[in-house]
Amino acid sequence: MRVGRALAAGFVAFGAVVATAGTASAAPADDCLFDEVCLYYSSSSYGYGAYFAQSGSISDYSGYYFKAGDNGSTGAGVSVKNNAAAVDNRGTPRNFYLYYNSNYDCRVACITVSPGALINLSEPLKNDNASGKLGPSQVG
């Protein structure tokens, strides 16, 4: 009886290890994490192709580059400045503000991306964006 219980406990423990390993590896590397906004190189892809994760304010995207997502590498290594085509604000409870110009200058164009929004950018911001900032937490 003890051998049977020991074997049963071993199978249960083995099953838990296998289930945990499968769950941990299922999340794609390019998911927006909590308190991050992701900018994508391609429209309508949200995880396909290159992405860039931002967790604060960046006054000039020069020197920041897209990295390859799990499902492709279109745009990997390309500068984020003037090349983002989509924005994912799933990972933060704050508004995200994307600007056409550096230094959060909205004279030409800017957009507010609400928490939970996944959007394709349109003219004049599509592939023409130079800075972005996370705003204060949204209430309500």
pLDDT in tens, the chain (140 residues): 554 444 444 433 333 333 333 322 233 445 677 778 999 888 875 555 678 889 899 999 999 998 876 555 678 889 999 999 999 988 889 999 999 999 999 999 999 999 989 899 999 999 999 999 999 765 54
Angstrom distance (rounded) from CA 134 to CA 140? 17
Give CA–CA dist 110/42, Å, rounded.
19
